């Protein structure tokens, strides 16, 4: 396994991140535990989750599955850099009282204690804001985070789905207040087919020393060889992938992508991950395996070297928007 620093921190994390969103909804507890064991055996030490994972009536289920895995011992918790998130509403359906969501000091305090209980741990390494809160000032947010750091309940704070200006606003507020190092990571949608983060989010993250953790590196399966799998009678595209393939232009891009990689003898999903590992500022993409086999496939990407010629060809198929302001101005 290869490791890097998480942004400007001294924290060393693996260049692949284990995403756990499927634990519970798609993957049962026993198989989830096996995947986490496999990830740890492979050297993956950064595990990402969120308090809302499990979804619907089962919100919190994913954290509970991770907690029961930690409870097995074997230094599992000590070896893992644990990241979870706060923002979504956690009250049971029909019991949606105010102050059970977003980033008020009240909800942050309530949410972190609930996550710690489900995760069966005394601290969270990276506590991430799952979305911006337009109604809560960063002064209030950082005051709440400062208290949690002092209590030893969290070590670092990160963001997810933040625009560039909010990353700047958050860290400028932290610098003015003192006492906190501000955001250390940003988790954003970023892959070959969705490169808008290159305009402002990634430049802001790099300017402020945040590690970039891309989610959906295969763009909902679109970059995982979906057309070839359909042709061969395998798992058909669904959800966002199926919808995207209805667009003839997108389908043409994906076909060109698959044809290019077939010519080079490279699996599309592995190439998509390897491409992200070449991008400036990227700490490591989040892989969310439903099975142990999918985890093994993702790990192969770490040893995949993409030639300059191939990288150029990928840029031609999936050109990024370019940096701002040139992307939308002269």
Q: Work out the percent of the chain whose per-residue pLDDT is above 90.
A: 92
- Quick check: 237 pLDDT over 70? no
- Over residues 240-252, the mean pLDDT reads 88
- Quick check: 239 pLDDT over 70? no
Q: How many CA atoms lie within 13 A of 51 on its CB side?
A: 26
Give the pLDDT of residue 268. Answer: 97
Give the pLDDT of residue 95. Answer: 74
Give catalytic residue positions.
Answer: 53
- Quick check: 234 pLDDT over 90? no
- Over residues 36-44, the mean pLDDT reads 98
**Poorest-pLDDT segment among 35-39, 91-95, 229-233:** 91-95
- Over residues 93-111, the mean pLDDT reads 90
Give the pLDDT of residue 222. Answer: 96
Give the pLDDT of residue 2. Answer: 95
Give the pLDDT of residue 49. Answer: 98
Give the pLDDT of residue 147. Answer: 97
- Quick check: 92 pLDDT over 90? no
CATH-assigned architecture of domain 3-317: Alpha-Beta Barrel (3.20)
The per-residue pLDDT for range 289-308, each reduced to its tens digit, is 999 999 999 999 999 999 99
Give the pLDDT of residue 241. Answer: 76
Predicted TM-score (pTM) of this structure:
0.96
d(CA 237, CA 232): 13
The per-residue pLDDT for range 135-178, each reduced to its tens digit, is 999 999 999 999 999 999 999 999 999 999 999 999 999 999 99
Give the pLDDT of residue 288. Answer: 96
Give the pLDDT of residue 108. Answer: 98
> pLDDT averaged over the chain?
95
Tokens of 95: 């019991």
Give the pLDDT of residue 243. Answer: 85
| Domain ranges across the chain | 3-317
- Quick check: 235 pLDDT over 70? no
Give the pLDDT of residue 238. Answer: 61
- Over residues 124-129, the mean pLDDT reads 99
């Amino acid at each position: 396994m290869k490791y890097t620093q998480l942004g400007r921190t001294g924290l060393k994390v693996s260049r692949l991140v284990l995403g756990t969103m499927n634990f519970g909804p798609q993957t049962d507890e026993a198989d989830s535990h096996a995947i986490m064991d496999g990830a740890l055996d492979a050297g993956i030490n950064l595990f990402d989750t969120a308090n809302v994972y499990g979804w619907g009536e089962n919100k919190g289920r994913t954290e509970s599955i991770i907690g029961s895995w930690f409870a097995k011992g074997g230094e599992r918790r000590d070896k893992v850099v644990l990241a979870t998130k706060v923002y979504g509403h956690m009250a049971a359906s029909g019991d949606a009282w105010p102050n059970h969501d977003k980033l008020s000091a009240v909800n942050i305090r309530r949410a972190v204690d609930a996550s710690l209980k489900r995760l069966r741990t005394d601290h969270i390494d990276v506590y991430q804001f799952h979305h911006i809160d337009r109604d809560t000032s960063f002064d209030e947010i950082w005051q709440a985070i400062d208290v949690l750091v002092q209590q030893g309940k969290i070590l670092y704070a990160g963001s997810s789905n933040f625009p560039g200006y909010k990353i700047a606003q958050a860290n400028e507020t932290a610098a003015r207040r003192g006492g906190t190092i501000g955001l250390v990571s940003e988790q954003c949608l970023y892959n070959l087919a969705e490169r808008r983060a290159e305009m402002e989010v990634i430049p802001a993250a790099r300017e402020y020393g945040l590690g970039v953790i891309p989610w959906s590196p295969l763009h909902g399966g679109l970059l995982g060889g979906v057309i070839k799998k359909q042709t061969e009678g395998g798992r058909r595209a669904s959800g966002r992938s199926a919808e995207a393939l209805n667009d003839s232009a997108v389908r043409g891009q994906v076909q060109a992508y698959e044809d290019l990689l077939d010519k080079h003898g490279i699996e599309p999903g592995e190439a998509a991950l390897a491409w992200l590992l070449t991008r400036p500022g990227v700490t490591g993409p989040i892989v969310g395996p439903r099975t142990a086999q999918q985890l093994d496939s993702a790990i192969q990407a770490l040893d995949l070297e993409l030639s300059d010629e191939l990288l150029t060809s990928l840029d031609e198929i999936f050109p990024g928007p370019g940096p701002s302001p040139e992307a939308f101005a002269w």
